[in-house]
Structure 1
């Protein structure tokens, strides 16, 4: 797998609509054994859009946030914009790729989709294992989406939104079952909001009090609710997000430890070193070395 070196930034691939389809905010592509080769996918990158891939058969391995996934038949893989991805090699693929932009979710008629667990992805998941019944249902919904995708016109967007709502709702049910998400409640919604704020601000805000201020709550109340809902202290959520981003940068880039520390809001690189070791049991340099040995 290729890595980035020096001052190269991990690229963010924008959403690319298929103008011929008539849909500017959603794409769907079926592969029937083609050699899926996109050179820029073989380098670490992020996507500025949501991606669902229903894999019927596609041998090989890819990585998401430094976690390897050996692709399995009849499995659903999904990514959200913040995750870091890389493919190991180009291989023939029998699969269906569905992408949609953040602008699609921003539309008023799609507001409910933004709250679905699959879209929120609080567990930073990527893979959904499917039963035979799940596979049949998902294939049916994808065929309906494909049919509408090839039928430009006044009603296309509404029909695509309707079919996608059914698909994402079904997948979110699988997500909650497989990732053990808790049932929604006022406190659970607060936990979701807290996690969303962490996603927005983790580079600048490292303390629970800073998030409590954003949410117009006391730090004590926020800590109490987050601990009760997630089983982890609020500060742990902040630290885990910092560690995840640090691992991404250590694994996928050759940025210096000082550069990574500063990009994550640590004024002192030595403090970042101590923080990372306290949270993971290894220094950043030790983690980078051991992680990259997997490719040697």
Structure 2
């Protein structure tokens, strides 16, 4: 069997091509699955995606299963392995977009990185909507879908404005459901640590290196991270490397030893021991189990 167990997909070939080239697509989720049934199997892509789902469904996101009954929004960050298994009576809209489409001419850093549900660390990547909230959010997704389908002049401008409004409204509801802790110096340090970790986790595994980047001591970084997250800084580094290993095992043609080298492990046997210690199975066993689950 080809080791490339999980494919990378482009946006669904539906609707106006010029809008997809700009980096936006909004269609019924079931239409997307009919156009390309392979999307019922785990896959990933390098753009953002939001599912607005109503009814019964199961969503697999980065090897975790989430079961839905009711109405919810799911948030997919670039690189995340995912799929949707529709249940009886499920309806929904899928909106795909690139960071460049969302940002347009806005200077960096991207506002996308300030939203609480993309690259969410330990936060949940979905929001269950309460009945009074559903009509307004459903209306926004309907506008996105209809504007995309009609593809009238200036559709990209209206789609961008509506997308930003939709995400900001969802962020407001998300934070209302899970209010963030009061902004403090400690929370700022943890956020900076996560940002640096996302940039350097493949090359840098030493806590001291991240402490230097943040201008604090190693012990202070570890104490603050543990206080705020319940985990040590070292554990968060290992968890991020483990997630990358699982993604690469799932959608790479590389051998296990090559993946180990790519992740900065000088010895393939050490990579296998690392993976087994924190995942409970060897890399080969993980891949076999995941293939069986996807059949």
Q: TM-score range by the shorter chain?
A: 0.7 to 0.9
- The CA distance in 1 between the partners of 2:105 and 2:11, in whole Å, is 20
The answer for the alignment partner of 1:245 in structure 2 is: 244
Counterpart mapping for 1:16-27 below 5 A: 18-19=16-17, 24-27=22-25
- Tell me the TM-score normalized by structure 2: 0.78
1:82 aligns with 2:82: no
The answer for the alignment partner of 2:204 in structure 1 is: 205
The answer for the alignment partner of 1:224 in structure 2 is: 223
CA contact (8 A) 1:35 1:91 kept: no
- The CA distance in 1 between the partners of 2:170 and 2:111, in whole Å, is 14
- The CA distance in 1 between the partners of 2:40 and 2:78, in whole Å, is 17
The answer for the alignment partner of 2:26 in structure 1 is: 28
Shift of 1:54: 0.9
| Residue segments in structure 2 that go unaligned for 5+ positions in a row | none
Kindly tell me: are residues 99 and 196 of structure 1, through their superposed partners in 2, closer, same or farther at Cα, counting changes over 3 Å? same
The answer for the alignment partner of 1:95 in structure 2 is: 92
Equivalent residue pairs, number:
290
Shift of 1:80: 0.7
- Tell me the TM-score normalized by structure 1: 0.78
| Residue segments in structure 1 that go unaligned for 5+ positions in a row | none
Kindly tell me: are residues 18 and 124 of structure 1, through their superposed partners in 2, closer, same or farther at Cα, counting changes over 3 Å? farther
The answer for the alignment partner of 1:13 in structure 2 is: 9
Pick which of 80-89 and 130-139 moved more. 80-89
CA contact (8 A) 1:55 1:72 kept: no
1:52 aligns with 2:50: yes
The answer for the alignment partner of 2:277 in structure 1 is: 278
Shift of 1:113: 3.9
1:64 aligns with 2:38: no
The answer for the alignment partner of 2:116 in structure 1 is: 117
- The CA distance in 1 between the partners of 2:294 and 2:6, in whole Å, is 19
Partner deviation per Cα, 1:86-138 (whole Å, 9 max, x = no partner): 45699996321112101124435484343111234223643322211222121
